[in-house]
Amino acid sequence: MFYTDGQLQYKVRVDSPNPLFAKHLQQAIGGVEGEIRVAMQYLFQAWSFRGPKRYKDLLLQTGTEELAHIEMLCHAVALNLEGSKEAVKEGVAAKSPIMQAMLGGMMPRQYLSSGMGALPVDADGMAFDMSNVYASGNAGADMYANVAAEATGRTLATRLYNLTDDPGMKDMLAFLIARDTMHQQQWLAVIEEIGGVNALPIPDSFPSDQENQDFNYTFLSTSTPDGPPPPEGRWSTGPSLDGRGQFSSEPARPLGGEPILPSPPPESMNQTAQIQSGGHGSPQLGSERPEQKGGGMLETVKDSMLEKAKDKLS
């Protein structure tokens, strides 16, 4: 369950309402770097987390805190929409604060759709659609994703801080920037607890001897022979970060041959010239491995399920 006491997590004050800044603040609400994204990301990670309970609790409580940040930013947007700077007021004959705000740079939908309030959209008015919420179920992968989310969120908050001279807005953003600092640190602390670089690559549970040993620590340069030299650095020479291999660098080479697809069947409704083009097969389709004939593992699972269903019916 979720509860609210009706109070803001931190004070929100707007000394000089600025409709244009209200539009900018929308990025911190519904942008890819915004608070809706991290709130949903942490909550969905928590709700399906399997592992030490303290990590689930950390995700759940941080996700809940992010909901409080959305509330703060929505209140800040609404306050900024109350009016505009003196320069705008002087250029508008009408006394309506709504007209002043719209000419002052506000997003039209903040009046038309929400009646002078915030929306679950970014600064361009694009709705947040959850496509950037990452909850893989792998603690390592999710924690690295969380660090990236907090890093981009803190970058956005510092840019917003530099875009305003309103003391109240700077104070609110300074708080949010500080919280982003802590959240970066706590996710990095979890990464350290679950093994850090020694638990790489993710997932560390996959048997490393089953990956191609010729390419797992090799940087493949896609520079042409007459192009720029391959980039060199920590990634191109010396021991790998996980201590399981040696970094190297070499030119990328085409090893797979030309991609060839079969001719389309008549029922595809493609052009006759395509269907009659000859060469109805592909040398890249099918396998000589007996266990793969007929569909491989998925087909085996399906057959097993069908057999069990038949047994129940008989």
Q: What is the per-residue DSSP string for 221-247?
A: E---TTSPPPP-STTTSEE-TTSSSEE
Which of these ranges, 80-84, 142-146, 175-179, 254-258, has the smallest mean pLDDT?
Answer: 80-84
Which of these ranges, 12-16, 71-75, 218-222, 260-264, has the smallest mean pLDDT?
Answer: 260-264
Average pLDDT over residues 37-58: 98
Total-model pTM: 0.84
19-197 maps to CATH 1.20.1260.10? yes
Closest CA to 75 of 174, 179, 168: 168
Closest CA to 58 of 196, 189, 151: 189
Q: 130 near 30, Cβ under 8 Å?
A: no
Residue type, 159: R
Which of these ranges, 56-65, 88-97, 132-141, 213-222, has the smallest mean pLDDT?
Answer: 88-97
pLDDT tens digits for 279-289? 667 887 876 65
Residue 85 has a pLDDT of 45
* pLDDT, averaged across the chain: 89
Q: What is the number of alpha carbons within 13 Å of residue 257 lying toward its C-beta? A: 6
pLDDT tens digits for 63-91? 999 999 999 999 999 999 886 544 345 54
Give domain limits for the chain: 19-197, 213-253
- For the chain, the DSSP string reads -----S--SS----SS--HHHHHHHHHHHHSTTSHHHHHHHHHHHHHT--S-HHHHHHHHHHHHHHHHHHHHHHHHHHHHTT---HHHHHT-----HHHHHHHTT--HHHHHTTSSS--SB-TTSPBP-STT----S-HHHHHHHHHHHHHHHHHHHHHHHHH---HHHHHHHHHHHHHHHHHHHHHHHHHHHTTGGGGPSSSTTS-GGGS-TTTTTEEEE---TTSPPPP-STTTSEE-TTSSSEEEEEE----S-----PPPPGGG---HHHHTSS--S-TTSS-S-GGGTTSHHHHHHHHHHHHHHHHHH-
pLDDT at 52 over 70: yes
